[in-house]
C-alpha cells in the first residue's frame, strides 16, 4: 500500500464537503477539520461574512452552525472519512495529512437539498479558500444560478454521476451533467473492471473508480461498507488533492482535471460507457508529478 503522505511536498489542500451533516466530533475527522481563524464563538459575525460563529463550516439547511444531528444519515460523515483516510488491510485507517475538509450541510436525507442552499454553500467554500468542492448529490432540474456559480468558480468540483443506470447526456442531472473544465463527474466500476450496474454513464462521466465494498466510518463511529458513486467521489477528490499538494506552483481547476484524466488508465470494459474509458490511477498521478 502506498503511503500518500510521503509525497506531500508543498501545501495542504482544503476540500469543501457539501452534503448531509458530518459528525465532526469523531476523533479522526476532528484532526482534519478546516478552521475559520477569523471567527470565534461569541454570537458576533467577527469576519463580517454574513455567518455568525462559523468557526468550522456552516449548516445552510437550517441556517445555523449545527453541523450534525442524530437525524442525519451517515452519508456526509462517510464521505469525509473516505476523503481524509485510507483504509488498511486490518480494518484501520491511515490519515491523509495533506487534506483538511470544510463541512457544509445542505441536506439531511438523500437528495433533499435545495438549489439556493447549494449555491450559497459553493459561494461560501470559494470565499473561504477551498481548492476542491465535493458534491455527492443530484438535482433533477436545471438551475441557471447554480450553473453560473459553478462555471465561474475557480474551484475544482468533483461530483457524483448518480446511481440510476441512466445516460446523463440524455437524462440530465445536476451538477453531474455539466461538461465544464472545472467539473469532474465520477462513476463507479465493479471488481471485474466493468461499470457498476447502478452507475449512471455517458460522455459526461469523466472517470470511474471502484464503487463497491468501500470501508468507511458511519455517523455512530462504527465501521461499515458502502457502495455507489457518492462514495467514489472522495477517492477522486483525494487524487486531485495530491495533484494540488505535490505541485510547486498552484494548479488551476482546469490543470488539476487535465492531470487527473491524462494519468487515468484506459479500461476497455468501459468503452462506449464513459468518456475516454478513464479509470482512476493514483500511482500514475504520483509518477507524473514526480517527473515534473
% of residues, the chain, pLDDT over 70: 93
Domain ranges in the chain? Answer: 4-290
Query: pLDDT tens-digit profile of 190-224?
Result: 989 899 999 999 999 999 999 988 888 889 988 88
Q: How far apart are CA 56 and CA 69, in angstroms?
A: 16
**153 close to 127: Cβ distance less than 8 angstroms:** no
Residue pair 176/168 in contact (Cβ under 8 Å)? The answer is yes
pLDDT digits (tens, 9 = 90+) for 95-105: 888 999 999 99
Distance between CA atoms of residues 125 and 136, nearest Å: 15
Mean pLDDT, to the nearest integer, of 115-131? 97
- Can you read off the three cell numbers belonging to residue 103? 463541512
Residue 261: predicted pLDDT:
97
* pLDDT score at 7: 57
Residue 135 backbone zone (phi > 0: left; psi -120 to 50: alpha; other: beta): beta
- Rg (Cα) of the chain, in Å, rounded? 18
Residue 186: closest CA among 248, 106, 98, 275 = 275
The average pLDDT across 5-10 equals: 62
How high is the pLDDT of residue 218? 87
Q: Is the model's pLDDT at 292 over the cut of 80?
A: no
How far CA 215 is from CA of 91, 148, 219, 220, 258, in Å, comes to: 8, 35, 13, 14, 28
DSSP 56-92: S-EETTTTBS----TTS-SHHHHHHHHHHEEE-TTS-
pLDDT of residue 112: 64
Residue 8 has pLDDT above 80, yes or no: no
Q: Which CATH number fits domain 4-290: 3.40.50.2000, 3.90.1150.10, 3.40.50.200, 3.40.50.300?
A: 3.40.50.200
CA angle 274, 174, 212 (to 5 degrees): 50
Residue 227 has pLDDT above 70, yes or no: yes
Q: Is 1 or 291 the better-scoring residue by pLDDT? A: 291
pLDDT by residue (tens digit) across 17-52?
999 999 999 999 999 999 999 999 999 999 999 999
How many residues are present in the chain?
Answer: 292
Q: Which three cell numbers stand for residue 153?
A: 468558480
138 preceded by cis ω (within 30°)?
no
Is the pLDDT reported for residue 260 higher than 70?
A: yes
Residues 188, 150: contact at Cβ < 8 Å?
A: no
Poorest-pLDDT segment among 124-128, 229-233, 244-248:
244-248
Burial of 288 from C-beta contacts in 10 A (0-12 / 13-18 / 19+): middle
Amino acid at each position: 500500500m502506498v503511503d500518500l503522505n510521503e509525497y506531500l511536498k508543498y501545501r495542504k489542500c482544503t476540500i469543501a464537503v457539501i452534503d448531509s451533516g458530518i459528525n465532526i466530533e469523531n476523533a479522526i475527522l476532528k484532526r482534519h477539520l478546516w478552521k475559520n481563524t477569523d471567527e470565534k464563538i461569541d454570537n458576533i459575525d467577527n469576519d463580517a461574512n454574513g455567518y455568525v460563529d462559523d468557526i468550522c463550516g456552516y449548516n445552510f439547511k437550517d441556517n445555523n452552525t449545527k453541523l450534525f444531528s442524530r437525524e442525519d444519515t451517515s452519508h456526509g460523515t462517510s464521505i469525509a472519512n473516505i476523503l481524509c483516510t485510507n483504509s488498511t488491510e486490518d480494518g484501520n485507517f491511515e490519515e491523509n495529512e495533506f487534506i483538511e475538509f470544510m463541512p457544509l450541510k445542505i441536506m439531511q436525507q438523500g437528495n433533499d437539498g435545495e438549489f439556493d442552499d447549494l449555491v450559497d454553500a459553493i459561494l461560501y467554500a470559494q470565499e473561504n479558500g477551498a481548492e476542491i468542492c465535493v458534491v455527492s448529490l443530484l438535482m433533477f432540474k436545471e438551475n441557471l444560478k447554480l450553473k453560473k456559480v459553478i462555471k465561474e468558480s475557480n474551484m475544482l468540483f468533483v461530483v457524483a454521476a448518480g446511481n440510476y443506470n441512466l445516460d446523463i447526456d440524455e437524462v440530465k442531472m445536476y451538477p453531474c451533467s455539466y461538461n465544464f473544465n472545472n467539473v469532474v463527474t465520477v462513476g463507479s466500476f465493479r471488481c471485474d473492471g466493468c461499470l457498476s450496474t447502478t452507475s449512471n454513464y455517458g460522455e459526461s462521466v469523466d472517470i470511474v473508480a471502484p464503487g463497491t465494498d468501500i470501508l468507511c466510518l458511519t455517523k455512530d463511529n462504527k465501521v461499515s461498507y458502502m457502495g455507489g458513486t457518492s462514495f467514489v467521489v472522495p477517492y477522486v477528490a483525494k487524487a486531485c488533492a495530491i495533484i494540488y499538494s505535490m505541485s510547486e506552483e498552484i494548479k488551476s481547476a482546469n490543470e488539476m482535471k487535465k492531470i487527473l484524466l491524462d494519468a487515468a488508465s484506459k479500461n476497455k470494459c468501459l468503452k462506449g460507457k464513459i468518456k475516454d474509458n478513464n479509470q482512476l490511477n493514483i500511482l500514475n498521478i504520483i509518477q507524473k508529478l514526480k517527473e515534473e
